[in-house]
Amino acid sequence: MNPSIPSIDQLKEMALPAPVSYAPQTWGWWALLALLIVTLAVIGARRYCQWRRDRYRREALVRLEELQQRSNDLSALRELPELLKRVAISMPNAKPVGASLLAKRALHSTSMASDTTHSRAGSLPQRSPAALGKEDWQAFLQRHSKQPLPADLSQQLSLLAYAPDATLRAMPTEQRQQLFSTCKTWVERHHVAA
């Protein structure tokens, strides 16, 4: 053996550097992480609130599906208009319908009378969706719909609610299915004023 050549026993293991931390090293990254967490929390809270607010919609769609499966049953057809009214009443933040129209009429009538200086628009009774009928009901449905509805939808719903049993039995299956489809679309997609 040659003494100038080191032996393998003399070799020493090299010291490794400290491991690199994955934690952010500057305050800017911590601030960005905090902002991301707050943003995700706000988005999650809003989604949860929206999910809770749409509970009436989900329940109505389940009931509508049950009714559609029994579309040949007269009681299912008669319940359809009632279901739509219940959905309209359950809508959160729904403004009472007809209030703006009544306010305009009152403002017009007070402007016609020269001795009246105060508008009576604030004292007019506001009507809920439950009290609507015919054209007002159709206007309410159309105003809250994202797509056009048949012009005679309120008449068809009125027919379902009040027509004799013989008239409902004579209704074609296609017309029944179209009514259920229109009602389902309205329940799924109606918008609520925020």
pLDDT at 194 > cutoff 60: no
- Say which residue, 45 or 132, is predicted with more confidence: 45
pTM metric for this prediction: 0.62
108, part of any domain: yes
128, part of any domain: yes
Q: How does pLDDT run across 125-183, given as a tens digit for each residue?
A: 446 676 676 678 778 888 888 888 888 888 888 888 888 888 888 888 888 889 899 88
180, part of any domain: yes
39, part of any domain: no
151, part of any domain: yes
132, part of any domain: yes
Residue pair 77/172 in contact (Cβ under 8 Å)? The answer is no
156, part of any domain: yes
148, part of any domain: yes
Instruction: Report the range out of 9-13, 21-25, 116-120, 176-180 with the highest average pLDDT.
Output: 176-180
Query: Shortest CA distance to 144 belongs to which of 79, 97, 78, 83?
Result: 97
Q: Is 63 exposed, middle or buried (0-12, 13-18, 19+ CB in 10 A)?
A: middle
In this prediction, residues 26-42 reach a mean pLDDT of 94
Instruction: Report the range out of 7-11, 14-18, 44-48 with the highest average pLDDT.
Output: 44-48
Structural domain including 100 reads 56-113+124-189
Q: What is the pLDDT of residue 48?
A: 96
Query: Shortest CA distance to 99 belongs to which of 121, 120, 119?
Result: 121
pLDDT at 113 > cutoff 70: no
The total number of structural domains in the chain stands at 1
